[in-house]
Amino acid sequence: MSKKTYTISELASEFDITTRAIRFYEEKGLIQPAREGRKRVYSTADRARLTLILRGKRIGMSLDESMEIIAMYDPDHGNRDQLKELLGRVQERQLSLQTQLEDIQATLESLNDVEQRCRKALGQHDQQGEL
């Protein structure tokens, strides 16, 4: 059962962000840690949310977008219409993520090209870094 709860600075150092950032996410409604008196107490669920937020950031999503995706996980969408709407948003996201994936692959290919030319000009071939 791992650890169950975390303090703000634990999470901050684990994810290498500032406590200010974490509180900011809270202001924005992305996380709602419990309180012990005035201290914030983070659950593993909060930690999971943070993971999603930061993953989102790495792929260029805004906080609002991350929040949307997070919201997709919990099942508060009771009726059929809401579900259909959700499904629609999910599919849109999937499409744009697909584009992103291709963009990254294209960029990686170009960089591979650059890399090869560098190595060639340096007289190396395909070494992995042997000093």
Partner DNA sequence: ACTTTAAGTTACGTTAACGTAAACGTCAAT
Partner DNA sequence: ATTGACGTTTACGTTAACGTAACTTAAAGT
CB of 102 to DNA, least distance (A): 20
Closest C-alpha to 39, from 19, 63, 15, 16: 19
Q: How many CB atoms lie within 10 A of CB 25?
A: 22
CB of 70 to DNA, least distance (A): 13
Residues in 97-126 at the binding interface with DNA, rule: CB under 7 A: none
CB of 55 to its own copies, least distance (A): 5
The torsion angle over the Cα atoms of residues 18, 23, 29 and 31, rounded to 10 degrees, is: 70
For DNA, which residue of 44, 51, 62, 110 counts as binding (CB under 7 A)? 62
| 112 touches its own copies (CB under 8 A) | yes
Report the distance separating Cα 45 and Cα 14, nearest Å: 15
| 63 touches DNA (CB under 7 A) | yes
Residues in 42-61 at the binding interface with DNA, rule: CB under 7 A: 57
For its own copies, which residue of 3, 73, 76, 130 counts as binding (CB under 8 A)? 73
Contacts of 28-33 with C-beta under 8 Å, sequence gap 24+, read 28/63, 28/67, 29/67, 30/63, 30/66, 30/67, 30/70, 33/8
| Residues 13 and 36 sit within 8 Å (Cβ to Cβ) | no
CB of 92 to DNA, least distance (A): 18
User: Which DSSP symbol is given to 93?
Assistant: H
| 13 touches its own copies (CB under 8 A) | no
Binding residues (CB under 7 A) for DNA: these are: 7-10, 12, 17-21, 23-24, 28, 37-40, 57, 62-64
